[in-house]
Amino acid sequence: MVGLWRGEDIPSDHPFDGVLENLQWFGKRFHPDLRADALLFQWKPDRLVPLEPAAFPIRLAIRLAPLGRTFLARKLFSHVQKVARAHGTTAKLTLRMVDGLETTAMVYDKLPVIDVFGRVADNEVAGMMVVDGDDRRYFFRLRKVIPSGSEGGV
């Protein structure tokens, strides 16, 4: 899974449906040391910014999710990115047992959140965000970005 991955929602009636995409979520980056940039956002057309997930308390973020789909939230979020920028990786990849199957998971460093991944194709995975204590699941897909020089670094 090493590399840059572009994400998109898989609608599932979760409160986050449409929120991350409205806020210019790009996806995730996985490093060779199994560390990850859990939340990458598009700041400018050629610039990605990794954000610190712990800057957004997950239960509060879920409660405020309807606001996250608004134009105002999108405009304000561009300013929030400057203060919520991550200074290093924010999660780690590991193997987990899910329903009796071993799969890759990304465990957030400072939040009770795990993203579980299932392979769809060579360069595509489906993801499921699991928040400890919340039975709802947020689903998304990631497609590997083939380097072309157009996807900016941080």
Average pLDDT (137-150) is 86
Neighbours of 88 (CB within 10 A): 9
The pLDDT-based confidence of 151 (bands split at 50, 70, 90) is very low
C-alpha radius of gyration, the chain, whole number: 15
What was the pLDDT predicted at 116?
A: 96
Which residues have a Cβ under 8 Å from the Cβ of 7 and sit 6 or more positions away?
A: 20, 25, 26, 27, 28, 127, 140, 141, 142
C-alpha pair distances (Å), 148 with each of 3, 59, 130, 144: 13, 37, 33, 12
Q: Which CATH architecture has domain 3-144?
A: Beta Barrel (2.40)
Q: Where are the domains of the chain?
A: 3-144
Give pLDDT tens digits for 32-69: 999 999 999 998 778 899 999 999 999 999 999 999 99
- pLDDT for position 35: 98
Rounded percentage of the chain residues whose pLDDT exceeds 90? 82
C-alpha span between 116 and 126 (Å, rounded): 8
**If DSSP codes are grouped into helix, strand and coil, which group holds residue 81?**
helix
For residue 29, the model assigns a pLDDT of 97
Summarize pLDDT for 94-130 with one digit per residue, the tens. Answer: 998 877 888 999 999 999 999 999 999 999 999 999 9
